[in-house]
């Protein structure tokens, strides 16, 4: 197990390096730069703009800028924001907690609704329960998250006044609507995968044996069938973590929540390349670590899996 973990950790280094280079080049290809974005807020003379570009290193060749950024990154320095000149690491640390909170809450919503719905559809296969569950899942996948967020705000915040739009009052109450808006689509995907996986598992011989021995249907499904069917579900949960991190960018802006989503949105608008690169690198690192944790959990769920 230790050898496997070390290999996986070492494998993440070229992955993160590739992500860093690609993001750097994509940001560099965006028309304009941070100095041009500053012109929307303050009037600068051409000589001042040229001097500022020289100070920020924007006049250097692209490969020189990339080399300088990678050298700083090896030392653990993510650079400074062009606007305000605050360290990027400090900005990420101040905002990552809110984004992780939203992501985990949305994943809880996806599991709480998706897995039971999928199990119900599998157990009642080819019945009205199965058809109804899959229709609900199809609707959930089809609804855009930002539109669902606006609808939830209109109904539960504006019309009924039950839940706050932003952080007024209890922070947990303010988390309900954005977590639901972000987690519904993932719950629908999880429901469809759970249904397919449980239906396949219920055809196995050991399930028939358990039923022949008189074991209750609920125990057969939840203790045996779902456990065996949980490997692909767990894989999907690891993949959904990255999807939820990406979706948080939109949902945080819809609900005016402070987090990595709003931070990177402002950075893109302001052409603040160090912040964009730092946020993407942080999100990629979290995604890699979550998928590593998922691989380790395989062995605990299914004793047949061993890492040599």
Instruction: Give the pLDDT confidence score for residue 37 in this predicted structure.
Output: 57
Q: Over range 286-293, report the average pLDDT.
A: 83
Tens-digit pLDDT profile for residues 244-276:
888 888 898 888 888 888 888 888 877 788 888
The residue extents of the domains of the chain are: 2-74, 95-301
Output the pTM of the full model: 0.81
Q: What is the CA radius of gyration of the chain?
A: 24
Please check the confidence at residue 288 and state whether its pLDDT lies above 60.
yes
Average pLDDT, the chain: 81
Instruction: Give the pLDDT confidence score for residue 39 in this predicted structure.
Output: 56
| Distance, CA of 19 to chain centre | 16
Return the half-sphere exposure (C-beta side, CA atoms, 13 A cut-off) of residue 266.
17
Instruction: Give the pLDDT confidence score for residue 110 in this predicted structure.
Output: 92
2-29 vs 62-74: helix crossing angle, rounded to 10: 150
Please state which of the four CATH numbers 3.30.930.10, 1.10.3720.10, 3.40.1000.10, 3.40.50.2300 is assigned to the domain occupying 95-301: 1.10.3720.10
Tens-digit pLDDT profile for residues 34-61:
665 565 555 656 676 667 667 666 667 7
Tens-digit pLDDT profile for residues 92-127:
999 998 899 999 999 999 999 999 998 888 888 888
CB 282 within 8 A of CB 264: no
């Amino acid at each position: 197990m230790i050898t496997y973990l070390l290999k996986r950790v070492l494998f993440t280094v070229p992955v993160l390096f590739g992500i860093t280079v690609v993001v750097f080049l994509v940001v560099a290809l965006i028309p304009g730069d941070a100095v041009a974005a500053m012109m929307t807020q303050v009037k600068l003379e051409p000589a001042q703009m040229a001097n500022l570009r020289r100070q920020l290193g924007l006049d250097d060749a692209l490969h020189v800028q990339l080399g300088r950024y990678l050298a700083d990154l090896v030392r653990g320095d993510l650079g400074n924001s062009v606007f305000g000149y605050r360290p990027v690491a400090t900005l990420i640390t101040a905002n990552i907690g809110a984004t992780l909170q939203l992501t985990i809450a949305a994943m809880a919503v996806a599991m709480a609704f998706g897995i039971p719905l999928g199990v119900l559809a599998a157990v009642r296969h080819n019945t009205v329960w199965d058809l109804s569950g899959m229709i609900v899942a199809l609707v959930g996948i089809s609804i855009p998250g930002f539109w669902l967020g606006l609808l939830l705000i209109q109904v539960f915040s504006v019309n009924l006044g039950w839940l706050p739009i932003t952080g007024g009052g209890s922070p947990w109450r303010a988390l309900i609507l954005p977590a639901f808006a972000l987690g519904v689509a993932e719950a629908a995907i999880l429901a469809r995968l759970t249904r397919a996986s449980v239906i396949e598992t219920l055809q196995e011989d050991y399930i028939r044996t358990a039923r022949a021995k008189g074991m209750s249907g609920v125990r057969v499904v939840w203790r045996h069938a779902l456990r065996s069917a949980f490997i692909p579900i767990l894989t999907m949960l690891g993949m959904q973590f990255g999807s939820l991190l990406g979706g948080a960018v939109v949902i945080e802006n819809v609900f005016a929540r402070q987090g990595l989503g709003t931070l990177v949105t402002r950075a893109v608008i302001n052409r603040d390349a160090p912040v964009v690169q730092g946020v993407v690198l942080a999100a990629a690192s979290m995604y890699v670590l979550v998928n590593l944790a998922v691989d380790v959990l395989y062995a605990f769920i299914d004793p047949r899996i061993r890492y040599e």
